[in-house]
Homo-oligomer: A and B are copies of this chain.
């Protein structure tokens, strides 16, 4: 991927630092005549917005998105895309004027501070600068528009593990996602997470999480055999989110423990003349191409690096030091990564939909070869 752009036909470029005047982005290549409303985009942003429970950073950002180009107003108060680039702008409001001199001088372990300084020789340290999770708001806004391109497709994410607590997949209920502050589909696990994360939060510590995104309704045929594999682009897209350290498709790492017999998703003819898969170990992708089954992706988010416990570090000037991070932080940054993951999956799918119909001329999937 380019430095700050991803996608091939449906392309998203983002910009902005945590404490600059604004963050934003440009969607290029969006099909024309796609209808959406600002409220659609805002609703997506609100799911990611900080400060909605005690488990996310208390930074207060309205995250109000402005669309500067690429659309026309519709008669019913909505917007319609024109095929030209769509610019998104979100102003930074709550750039609390705190003292950042310490993190300007010392490298926070687990943060990008040192790496940025070595790479660029200069760094906007305020609030993490470009590496702030704040940038993900733009991804969510772009994903909301990508989702409109994918008519008939449902993309939903869930938190399936937090620190030591895993969900029980037998209790999976998508409706639970909206009933707890963790996007957790298992009500019982969500209850335990609440206590667990309160403890983490009060001790000024943090913890990681595993998230899962499922895309249903993706037609068979999207993707490409090798370097343009659907799973390769999904992996890059998810790994590009701050703090993500692992990505897997379908069985993922567990597939290493399976035999060929166990891993084979057998097929039968359905009554509607379409094939039915008897399992989905593949996570909806074979040979880099979608099979028509749900696309299932998981990714791991490391614990927030900003913690209250002092850690050993060095300064810009080559001296040993200790550092701990005051300020507002998510005890589990993975929670808010759920809508971000959904957005990235939506953008990748929209891109591959356009690429597929570009190469093949087909707008729809079909059960069997022409």
From residue 222 to 269 of chain A, which have CB atoms closer than 8 A to chain B? 222-229, 231-240, 242, 244-269
Check if B369 sits within 8 Å of A316, measured CB to CB.
Answer: yes
> Which of A20, A163, A232 has most chain B Cβ within 10 Å?
A232
Q: Is the CB of B360 within 8 A of A275?
A: no
Which one of B228, B288, B303 lies within 8 Å of A255 (CB-CB)? B303
CB of A56 within 8 Å of the partner chain: no
| Interface status of A361 (Cβ within 8 A of chain B) | yes
Instruction: Closest B residue to A279 by CB, please name it.
Output: B109
Q: Which A residues between 111 and 143 are near B, CB-CB below 8 angstroms?
A: 111-112, 114-124, 129-131, 135
List CB contacts (< 8 Å) of A14-56 with chain B.
14-17, 20-24, 26, 28-33
The complex places the Cα of A82 from the Cα of B3 at a distance, in Å, of 13
B82 and A124 within 8 A (CB): yes
A150 at the interface (CB under 8 A from B): no
Please provide the chain A residues from 155 to 196 with a CB less than 8 Å away from any CB of chain B in the complex. Answer: 161-164
Residues 357-370 of chain A: 1 if any B CB is under 8 Å from the residue's CB, otherwise 0?
11111010111111
Q: Taking the full assembly, how many copies of this chain does it contain?
A: 4
CB distance from A82 to the nearest CB of B (A): 5
Taking a contact as CB atoms under 8 Å apart, the answer to whether A286 and B68 are in contact is: no
Contact partner, A245, options B17, B80, B237, B252, Cβ 8 Å: B252
- Confirm or deny: A103 has a beta carbon within 8 angstroms of a beta carbon on chain B: no
A294 within 8 A of B: no
**Distance, CA A124 to CA B163, complexed state (A):** 46
| Docked complex Cα distance between A317 and B288 (Å) | 23
How far apart sit A234 and B240, CA to CA, in the bound complex (Å)?
A: 11
Contact of A2 among B28, B87, B131, B305 (CB under 8 A): B28
Considering the complex, give the chain B residue whose CB is closest to the CB of A240.
B232
Contact A289 B119 (CB under 8 A): yes
Bound together, the chains give a CA A192 to CA B162 distance in angstroms of 34
Pairwise interchain contact B245-A3, C-beta atoms closer than 8 A: no
A13 touches B5 (CB 8 A): yes
Q: How near does chain B come to A117, taking the closest CB pair, in angstroms?
A: 4
Asked if A292 CB lies within 8 Å of chain B CBs, one says yes
In the assembled complex, the Cα of A247 lies from the Cα of B367 at a distance in Å of 31
Q: Which of A222, A246, A354 has the most CB of B within 10 A?
A: A246
Q: Which 5 A-B pairs have the closest CB atoms?
A: A112-B287, A358-B358, A246-B248, A115-B289, A208-B256
